[in-house]
Amino acid sequence: MDANRYDQEPALGASHERARILLHHARRVVVLTGAGISTDSGIPDFRGPEGLWTRDPEAEKLSDICYYLSDPEIRKKAWRSRVESPAMGSQPNAGHHALVALEQRGVLHTLVTQNIDGLHQLAGHATERVIEIHGTMRFVRCMSCSYRVSMEVVVERLNAGETDPDCPVCGGILKSATISFGQNLVAQDLARAERAAQECDLLLAVGSTLSVYPVAGLVPLAKHSGAKIVIVNGEPTAMDSLADAVLYGGIGDLLPSLTA
C-alpha cells in the first residue's frame, strides 16, 4: 500500500458540507476516537491496511491477557515493543488539535478514546472530558496488588537490563495500565461513555473500524437516542449504514475543516 494513502486531498463534496453543517449546529458533541487519529503522529494502528496486526497477525497475542499472564516470552516481547514504541515520544497532530477546537467552542460533551497514547490530553483537552476506555500506556499496574507507577519508572528498569520486571511490592506480574483483550473495561468508564452517548446530539467517530465492542456499541446507542452520527475514516467502517454523513480521507486534512 502507498504509505501516503491518507495524505491525498480529500474530496470536499456533499457529505463534507453535510457533516460541517451538522457539527456547526450541534451543541452536545461526543467524539469517539480510534487508532487512526494517531497514525499521523507516527503510531501505527492495528487493523488498517498498514496496521501492526495486518502485517503480523502474531502481534495480536501481545494484546491478549491470557497469553500475557501465562507466557513470560510474550511479556518480554510486550515490554520490548513498549520501549521501542513510537508512541513514547509522540506528539499530537492536526486531528487531535481540531478536536480541541470543539472543546474551546464549548460544544464538546465528552471525548471517548480507544487510544492508550494520551495524545488527546497532550493536545490540550481537559482531563475530565476524556474517557480512556481502553486504559493508558502512560502508567503501569500490578496484576496482584494496588501498585501503580508511571511508565517512565518501568522503562528505566527495562533500560537497565530487566526483561520482565516484577512488582516491587508483592512480586506480582506488571502490565501497562491498558485493557487487553480478555480484560473487562472499567465499569464506571463504560457507564459514563454510555450516558454521554445517550445525552449527546451528535456523535463524531474518527479513525476507528468501529468493530471493537462494547465501544462500537456507543454508535447505535447514540443513534437510537436521537443523535446525528458523523464518521470520518480512511476506509469504510462497520457503522457507516447508521451515519448521517460519512467522510473517507485523511483525518489530518478532514477534521480541521470540519471543526474550525
Q: Is 180 in the site for ligand NAD (CB under 6 A)?
A: no
Q: Pairing mode, if any, of strands 174-178 and 135-142?
A: antiparallel
Number of residues that bind ligand NAD (CB under 6 A): 27
134 classed as catalytic? yes
Q: Which one of 233, 243, 255, 258 is in contact with ligand NAD (CB under 6 A)?
A: 233
Q: Is 36 in the site for ligand NAD (CB under 6 A)?
A: yes
Q: Is 93 in the site for ligand NAD (CB under 6 A)?
A: no
Q: Is 40 in the site for ligand NAD (CB under 6 A)?
A: yes
Q: Is 201 in the site for ligand NAD (CB under 6 A)?
A: no
Cell, residue 64: 491478549
User: Do residues 95 and 40 make contact, with C-beta atoms less than 8 angstroms apart?
Assistant: yes
Q: Which one of 10, 22, 48, 131 is in contact with ligand NAD (CB under 6 A)?
A: 48
Cell, residue 152: 517512565
Of 16, 109, 125, 134, the catalytic one is 134
Cα of 171 vs its chain's centroid, Å: 31
Q: Which one of 45, 92, 138, 190 is in contact with ligand NAD (CB under 6 A)?
A: 45
Q: How far is the CA of 183 from the CAs of 70, 162, 176, 179, 214, in angstroms?
A: 14, 26, 13, 6, 12
User: Do residues 144 and 151 make contact, with C-beta atoms less than 8 angstroms apart?
Assistant: no
Q: Which one of 20, 26, 32, 38 is in contact with ligand NAD (CB under 6 A)?
A: 38
Cell, residue 128: 475530565
Q: Which one of 251, 255, 258, 259 is in contact with ligand NAD (CB under 6 A)?
A: 251
Q: Which residues of 57-70 are buried (b: 16+ CB within 10 A; e: fewer)?
A: eebebbbbeebbee
CB of 95 to ligand NAD, least distance (A): 7
Closest among 254, 255, 257 to 8, alpha carbons compared: 254
CB of 12 to ligand NAD, least distance (A): 15
Footprint (CB under 6 A) of ligand NAD, residues 105-164: 114-117, 134
Distance CA 127, CA 98 (A): 17
Residues at the interface with ligand NAD (CB under 6 A):
6, 34-36, 38-40, 43, 45-48, 51, 114-117, 134, 207-209, 212, 233-235, 250-251
Catalytic machinery residues: 134
